[in-house]
């Protein structure tokens, strides 16, 4: 008796599928949709100069030279706490995922500290100064394409100036 109940269920599902298929075929034969000759609602598009995010996108960071006079190393230390997952700031501190940043201000870019820097940084020339740190902190990938550092950067010039003042105070 149980096998007949299963057959009834399967037959019901098959009949429902056939009815749906036949209904679709009949509906397609009866209804012939036509595309509209013109749009029901026209959207007016005017040519305007670039605005918004695209216009605000800069080719480089805003200079922080004028902000350095009022930069606060204590505020920079607070901002730099987000860097402590990958970096240490103590004199003689160990390297983590990134190098120890104590005394980095004035050092050669991508050299020393017993850290294996990426080729992108090794190929950079110069020293870590206000201008290079500003660009690095703004967007590390823009400063050294291919660097191992995945940090997105600090978009606010005041934040960058404070962090640079903090790094400069670590001597």
Q: Are residues 98 and 143 in the same domain?
A: yes
Q: Are residues 110 and 164 in the same domain?
A: yes
For the segment 116-128, the average pLDDT, to the nearest whole number, is 91
Residue 155, domain member (yes or no): yes
Count the domains in the chain.
2
CATH of the domain at 164: 1.10.760.10
- Other C-beta atoms within 10 Å of 89: how many? 18
Residue 111 domain flag: yes
pTM (two decimals): 0.65
**CA angle, residues 30, 33, 34, in degrees to nearest 5:** 140
Looking at residue 150, its pLDDT comes to: 87
Query: Phi, psi (5° rounding) for residue 127?
Result: -120, 160
Residue 171 and residue 169: Cα distance in Å, rounded?
6
Residue 39 · residue 132 · CB < 8 Å = no
Tell me: pLDDT of 108 over 80.
yes
What CA–CA distance (Å, rounded) separates 124 from 162? 24
* Domain assignment present for 81: yes
Domain hosting 7: range is 1-33
Q: Is the pLDDT at 18 greater than 90, yes or no?
A: yes
What's the pLDDT tens digit per position in 35-92? 878 777 776 666 655 555 554 555 788 999 999 999 999 999 999 999 999 999 999 9
């Amino acid at each position: 008796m149980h096998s007949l109940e299963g057959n009834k269920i399967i037959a019901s599902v098959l009949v429902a599928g056939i009815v749906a298929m036949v209904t679709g075929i009949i509906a397609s034969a009866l209804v012939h949709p036509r595309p509209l000759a013109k749009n029901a609602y026209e959207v007016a598009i005017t040519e305007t100069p670039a605005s918004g995010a695209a216009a605000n996108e800069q080719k480089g960071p805003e200079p922080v030279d004028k902000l350095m006079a009022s930069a606060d190393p204590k505020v920079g230390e607070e901002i730099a706490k987000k860097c402590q997952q990958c970096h240490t700031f103590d004199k003689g501190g160990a390297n983590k995922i990134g190098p120890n940043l104590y005394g980095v201000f004035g050092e050669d870019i991508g050299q020393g500290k017993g850290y294996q820097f990426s080729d992108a940084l090794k190929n950079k020339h110069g020293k870590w100064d206000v201008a290079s740190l500003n660009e690095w902190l703004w967007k590390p990938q823009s400063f050294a394409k291919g660097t191992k550092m995945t940090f997105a950067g600090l978009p606010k010039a005041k934040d960058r100036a404070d962090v640079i003042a903090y790094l400069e105070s670590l001597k």
